[in-house]
Amino acid sequence: MPSFQASSRGAASRVARLGLLSLGLLPGLVLAQASAFSRAAGVPVTPGTVWHYEKSNRDGSDAWHFAIYFASPSRVEVLKWLPGEDLVEVHADLDLARAMPVHMQQWNLVKGERRPTLSADAAPKASRLKVHFAKGGSLELDGGALPLHVWGFDLASLAPLLPMLKQPAQGFRLSMVDPNRPGRHGEPALVDEARFEYLGQCEWQGRPTHHYRIAGPVFDGKAGLLVSSLQGQLLHAEHPIPTSTDWTDWRLSFTRAEQLNGNQWEQFKLELQRQLAAGD
């Protein structure tokens, strides 16, 4: 999923049984990590911007289209689709002061119809998300003392925050929920710390960029890579652990950008849904 279900093609059976998960971190750390970001630190992504990517395995196989639309400085809409086969759409509203999504809504295209799958809402002050399933039931995810993000969202909720890093060379930490893997004590989903460790400035496809190592306890000793422009644009990310069970590992590669107003974006989505429903 560019979403928070276990797989874009299957039900989130593990997550549906999830109880309260907590990292048990010190309360003061959430302010320290959320305050690593500030709207005054850089230039927010212009509303109406669309960043297009290819999502695939790290070797480039099983490639899908992936697009992030910046509806506002604090709202993104994400589409993931395979022409003629599948479409997942997720919207996320972010609290920029808390550096995390506070509302998420997912739809899947099923037999030509756009159907709600699940939604999630954050607690007013705590790093918690309550997930509601369209077929019934709910669960609560607790990120402890760090801003909570969802690995299955392919870092799309991080994309608006990267341009707001006060000191990109210091790196940062988040809580991350991975619905594809069980928790440490038999919980149906894993919640633990993700670390974005700064590696330095490197050239990437002819331009200077920031490189981060994606590591931390949530990844069980495995590490990946995040590449952003010096202005904070997400250009590339990869990891041995996939964001969805539809893949064996994970790569997200930037392909192009464009500007669409709200009407043009909605028309783009409608045309895409029509093509998928027709099997084009």
Assess whether pLDDT exceeds 80 at residue 187.
Answer: no
The residue type at 227: V
Predicted confidence (pLDDT) per residue in 60-92, tens digit: 999 999 999 999 999 999 999 998 889 999 999
**For residue 19, what pLDDT is reported?**
31
- pLDDT single digits (tens) 36-66: 888 777 788 999 999 999 999 999 999 999 9
What is the reported pLDDT for 47?
97
Q: What is the mean pLDDT of residues 10-36?
A: 42
Q: What angle do CA 30, 125, 33 make, to 5 degrees?
A: 15
Tokens 């990109």 belong to 168
In the predicted structure, residue 25 carries a pLDDT above the cut 80: no
pLDDT score recorded for residue 4: 52
What was the pLDDT predicted at 22? 32
Q: What is the pTM (predicted TM-score) of this model? A: 0.88
For the segment 110-166, what is each residue's pLDDT rounded down to a tens digit? 888 899 999 999 999 899 999 999 999 888 888 998 999 999 999 999 999 999 999
pLDDT, tens only, 191-234 = 999 999 999 999 999 999 999 999 999 999 999 999 999 999 99
pLDDT value for 251: 98
pLDDT reported for residue 165: 93
Integer angstrom CA distances of residue 231 from 34, 42, 54, 93, 259: 19, 7, 21, 22, 18
